[in-house]
Amino acid sequence: AAPPDISLRQQQKMARHHELIAFVDLLETNKPYFVNNTRVPALQTLLLFAHSLDTNFDCTRIVADEWLEVCLSDAASGEQLISSAQQLRSSWGKLLDTQLQAGDNDISFRITARQQDHQRVLAQKLAEFLDCSLSYSLRKFPSSELKTAYVGADANTENTSSLLGHPVKGGLVVNDYLTFNCLQSTEEYGGALLRFWKCPGCETSLLVTPADRLIHEEMCPDLQTTATATHGADGSDSQELSEGRMVAAVSDVSTLSSLAQSYHCSACDEDYSLTPTQILQHKKSHAK
């Protein structure tokens, strides 16, 4: 069964190959023309490049730039995609900042072998992220729904003291582009979304909700050193370690569609699409 927040009409529009048009330049003559166009996967591109991402509690609904709405069929996929996009954007941004700062300070700056290795791994993980295949619906978000789509200021900000609530939308401001649980939901999920999860940075095993996981990933100092370690002068060991953390942070994305299977949990009376490992983790969450 699809999550309650997804309407029957949206379920009928579920597909794996929604696309957007990306372009390099806008040529304006008598008419505007897009130059150097290419088709790109819609969901992955929005997660990587949107200026704002707003989600509901279980990440099955995502609104990008208050313009396009994505609905996913299961919470596990939505949570994993948001998490992977968060790590990729962080690693990519820090690598760019490091190279720009080094270039400003030294006009003879050249990319080191370690940075080239990091670029190679990042490119590989970006390709895997763009290539993942999931079923979802995509629609233009009507401006008429903006007033009622969000929970509003001071709503859904409980259960954490480490993040601030959004002053207008509500929910938790995870970083400069991601606001979690600010979209209206038709149900409260509570402990049904608790899962065992191991942080690829500090390697701590935790029983977390989607909010707990996103907060930990944003705050974990070991994950935050993924890109900055590549510019250190302490040798290749630091580079290999940081690459390994980045790979682990996004490695689950490529297996979402190939290993997931339907699973009905009798304890919470819900249907999920989970990998065998995720099924075991979900069962353990009810045993606590």
Say what the pLDDT of residue 44 is. 93
CA distances from 247 to 14, 129, 240 (A): 29, 11, 11
Residue 148, SS3? Answer: helix
pLDDT tens digit sequence for 251-286: 555 555 555 667 788 888 877 766 666 677 778 778
Question: From CA 25, how far away is CA 13, in angstroms rounded?
Answer: 31
- pLDDT per residue of the chain (288 residues) written in tens, 0 to 9: 445 555 555 555 788 889 999 998 989 889 989 899 999 999 999 999 999 999 998 888 999 999 999 998 887 788 888 888 988 998 888 888 877 776 666 655 566 777 777 788 888 888 888 888 888 999 998 888 888 888 887 776 665 556 788 888 888 888 899 998 889 876 555 444 667 777 877 877 877 777 777 777 777 777 655 434 433 433 343 443 344 454 445 555 555 555 566 778 888 887 776 666 667 777 877 876
Say what the pLDDT of residue 6 is. 55
Say what the pLDDT of residue 234 is. 39
Contact between residue 129 and residue 88 where contact means Cβ atoms under 8 Å apart: yes
Say what the pLDDT of residue 113 is. 72
Say what the pLDDT of residue 98 is. 77
CA distances from 170 to 65, 116, 156 (A): 16, 41, 6
Contact between residue 120 and residue 128 where contact means Cβ atoms under 8 Å apart: no
pLDDT tens digit sequence for 118-134: 788 888 888 888 888 88
Say what the pLDDT of residue 47 is. 94
Question: Which of 147, 7, 140 lies closest to 68 in space, CA to CA?
Answer: 140
